[in-house]
Amino acid sequence: MVPTRPLSEVVSEFCGHALLLRMVRIHVVIGGVGRLVPLLVLLSALSSPLAAEDPSLIISRFQEYLRINTAQPKPNYRQAADFILAQASSIPLESKSFEFVDGKPVVILKWPGTNPRLPSVMLYSHTDVVPVEQSKWDHPAFGAHVDQEGRIFARGSQDMKCVGMQHLEAVRQLKRSGFEPVRTVYIVFSPDEEIGGHDGAGKLAESEVLREMNVGVVLDEGLASPNEKYRAFYGERSPWWLVIKATGAPGHGAKLYDNAAPENLFKSIETIWRFRTSQFDMVKAGLKAEGEVISVNMAFLKAGTPSPTGFVMNLQPSEAEAGFDVRVPPIADPVSLERRIAEEWAPISRNMTFELKQKIAVHDHHGKPIITATDSSNPWWALLEEGVRKANGLIGKPEIFPASTDCRYFRLLGLPAIGFSPMANTPILLHDHNEHLDKAEYLKGIKVFESIIKTYTSFVGDSSKESFRDEL
């Protein structure tokens, strides 16, 4: 449905504040907010708490979402958004779809709290998934087949359609039970996380829409845990994509001489590999977690003079290049790493140059690590543990996510953002062949989110300390 009222009015009504929109192009789809009102009245008239729902229905809704092919590079965002909007009206929840970038909807569902002045709780997930090599899978990657052991096979079953649907199902169940949140809950579904999130979380983070949501805490994705403890993440490593290049005098393939480009490059590769080993050894020895060390992995190696049949074999090339995916934890010192790159990995004295093709900030604008506090300065961490405990679960010690998630856009704004995907006793299969999730574990995760949402939305603590901090 296309809005007939001015956009600003529509958005401010949704967000609960007056608002001036500064975004250039936003397309708003109203999920029938107007029509919801009589329906809500009707539902509250029959407000006796309803019994829990048949689990097979819950699983079939999850399967329906998994069957929508949202794999990069051509995700079917339209179908995913339509599905989510339909779910929203069945619960019912207010809903809107914002296209900060054409064809890339950010769908936002709202469950208003009884005290809308308190900062809200944002349950965040991304709708896209990584591509599949179907021939390596035992079941169709978008079939959501359930095997005899109860495992649901699909791309996105762990990363992270499970979490998005669990957010929805937890809210659906809490509403059915008659629970009333004090804080407002937003469930957000974003595009493009798997390709960097710039057109999804990135645009949302810089929008007035997010300001008006007055978010107090964000829950986004974590990782499966192979043991019985859930994992929760307070920071993540920043990708630095490093290319080093060596030049040297070209020469006959038969001549022995010093400082040829491949030799210069290999001296660097040896140095980089010693560093890599020192980092990896700490992980192997159990002294550090994977997310706490600087990882370095080679992405490409490039040299040689092409010929019609391959490469010229009797010529030593004058240039040689290598590319590395370097991941820098927020607790590392980015200045000393950059000095190490300049002085040891690509020294000018060896005729080497380097370029950081991507360099995501490790520190914020105040030079502080971009992390969410896990101590008493951040009530949301203890409340998460409390919520999980009340659902008979346990969380391991706070971790740094080894790769990137959309959390970084929210942490950069100063918002507490926690990575949490409730999958215990589950092999880590994100981006892997045969990605799957156990049915019972999925259903248990819904219970865990119900408990967290109850704990979070009932918390009325000192709101002056946790208001929206815009540090940009």
Ligand X SMILES: *[C@@H]1O[C@H](CO)[C@@H](O)[C@H](O)[C@H]1NC(C)=O
Q: Which residues are annotated as a binding site for Zn(2+)?
A: 126, 159, 194, 221, 431
- The site string for ligand X over 23-62 (x = CB under 6 A, - otherwise) reads ----------------------------------------
Burial status of residue 346 (CB atoms within 10 A of its CB: 0-12, 13-18, 19 or more)? buried
Find the shortest distance in angstroms from Cβ 246 to ligand X: 8
Burial status of residue 25 (CB atoms within 10 A of its CB: 0-12, 13-18, 19 or more)? exposed
Those residues with Cβ within 8 angstroms of residue 119's Cβ, 6 or more apart along the chain or in another chain: 183, 214, 215, 216, 217, 463, 466, 467, 468
Rounded alpha-carbon distances, angstroms, from residue 57 to 63, 65, 75, 189: 10, 13, 26, 21
In the complex with ligand X, which residue's Cβ is closer, 232 or 352?
352
In the complex with ligand X, which residue's Cβ is closer, 279 or 351?
351
- 462 in active site: no
Token couple for 441: 């574990």
Find the shortest distance in angstroms from Cβ 263 to ligand X: 8
Burial status of residue 164 (CB atoms within 10 A of its CB: 0-12, 13-18, 19 or more)? buried
Q: Give the span between the Cα atoms of 233 and 176, in whole angstroms.
A: 31
Tell me 284's DSSP state.
H
Nearest-CA neighbor of 244 among 321, 299, 318?
A: 321
- The binding site comprises 126, 159, 194, 221, 431
In the complex with ligand X, which residue's Cβ is closer, 191 or 262?
262
Q: Are strands 310-311 and 306-307 parallel, antiparallel or unpaired?
A: antiparallel
- 441 in active site: no
Would you say 148 and 132 are in contact if contact means Cβ atoms under 8 Å apart? Answer: no
Tell me 129's DSSP state.
B
Q: Is 316 in the site for ligand X (CB under 6 A)?
A: no
Find the shortest distance in angstroms from Cβ 259 to ligand X: 3
Interacting residue with ligand X among 259, 358, 392, 467 (CB under 6 A): 259
Nearest-CA neighbor of 340 among 240, 272, 281?
A: 272
- Report CA dihedral (216, 188, 166, 438) to the nearest 10 degrees: -120
- The site string for ligand X over 332-351 (x = CB under 6 A, - otherwise) reads ------------------xx
In the complex with ligand X, which residue's Cβ is closer, 305 or 353?
353
Catalytic residue among 94, 99, 128, 220: 128
Give the residue nearest to ligand X (CB). Answer: 259
Considering only residues 149 to 188 of the shown chain, the ones binding ligand X according to CB under 6 A are none
Peptide bond into 165 cis (omega under 30): no
Rounded alpha-carbon distances, angstroms, from residue 458 to 117, 257, 303: 13, 73, 61
Q: Is 264 in the site for ligand X (CB under 6 A)?
A: yes
Interacting residue with ligand X among 92, 156, 222, 248 (CB under 6 A): 248
In the complex with ligand X, which residue's Cβ is closer, 288 or 350?
350
Would you say 401 and 237 are in contact if contact means Cβ atoms under 8 Å apart? Answer: yes
**Number of residues this chain uses to bind ligand X (CB under 6 A):** 5
Residue 134 has a CB neighbour count (10 Å cut-off) of 12
Query: Position 452: which residue type?
Result: I
Q: Are strands 215-220 and 120-126 parallel, antiparallel or unpaired?
A: parallel
Q: Is 267 in the site for ligand X (CB under 6 A)?
A: no
Three-class DSSP category at 401: strand
Peptide bond into 73 cis (omega under 30): yes
Please report the DSSP string for 327-378 in residue order. Answer: EE-TTS-HHHHHHHIIIIIS-GGGTEEEEEEEE--SB-TTS-B-----STT-
In the complex with ligand X, which residue's Cβ is closer, 348 or 361?
348
Find the shortest distance in angstroms from Cβ 343 to ligand X: 15
Catalytic residue among 169, 193, 385, 466: 193
In the complex with ligand X, which residue's Cβ is closer, 75 or 248?
248
Find the shortest distance in angstroms from Cβ 344 to ligand X: 14
In the complex with ligand X, which residue's Cβ is closer, 347 or 416?
347
Find the shortest distance in angstroms from Cβ 102 to ligand X: 50
Distance of CA 313 to the CA centre of its chain: 46
Considering only residues 345 to 384 of the shown chain, the ones binding ligand X according to CB under 6 A are 350-351
Find the shortest distance in angstroms from Cβ 313 to ligand X: 23
Find the shortest distance in angstroms from Cβ 264 to ligand X: 5
Please give the residue ranges that form the binding site for ligand X (CB under 6 A). 248, 259, 264, 350-351
Active-site residue numbers? 128, 193
